[in-house]
Amino acid sequence: MKSDPTLDLMDMLLKVSRQMKAEMSYSSDIVHLSVLQIQTLFFINQNGQVSMSDVAAHFRIELPSATSLINKLCDQKFTIRFEGELDRRLVMVKLTNDGKILLEQAISERQKKLAKTLSFLSASEKSSLLTILQTLNSRLQLKNEN
């Protein structure tokens, strides 16, 4: 009996996802943060400074959840809150030096682990994989915007 390519693809995506998650886990220095907290540090770093609403919208979470998330990062001295320049009612967030250092460590660690994990692929295979993932990502984003 011929297998269904969609089911095969789904099965393979789940297997690869599980294996990549295990391979890409952070060291003990970074592990005390949740994945969402690390992603939040990435998001803030990419944007320089963000509002609580920006965090909530980006991660598709409610504003109180975004506030709780940022509070935990502030408590650990990875982010700092400040008033908006144009609207003092607006609470903005940016990375502290400790947050930047931790993020640099996380990025470096991830790059090394990814390079090791994908070292068995040829340059051509890596390029093909990147193209497929970019296409999939673009189409999913378009779908979600509509």
Whether 125 is in a domain gets the answer no
Distance CA 120, CA 131 (A): 18
- Read off the pTM: 0.72
Task: Find all residues with CB under 8 Å of 33, minimum gap 6, and list them.
Answer: 26, 41, 76, 102
Query: Does residue 142 sit within a domain?
Result: no
Q: Please check whether residue 95 lies inside any domain of the structure.
A: yes
The domain that holds 91 is classified in CATH as: 1.10.10.10
Q: Per-residue pLDDT averaged across 34-57, rounded?
A: 94
100 within some domain: yes
Cα atoms in the 13 Å half-sphere on the side-chain side of 123: 0
Condensed to tens digits (0 to 9), the pLDDT of residues 15-41 reads 988 888 777 776 656 667 888 998 999
Say how many domains are in the chain: 1
Outline where DSSP puts E strands in the chain: 50-51, 79-83, 91-95
As a whole number, the mean pLDDT across the chain is 89
Its domain, for residue 104, covers: 27-119
Most confident option among 11-15, 35-39, 55-59 = 55-59
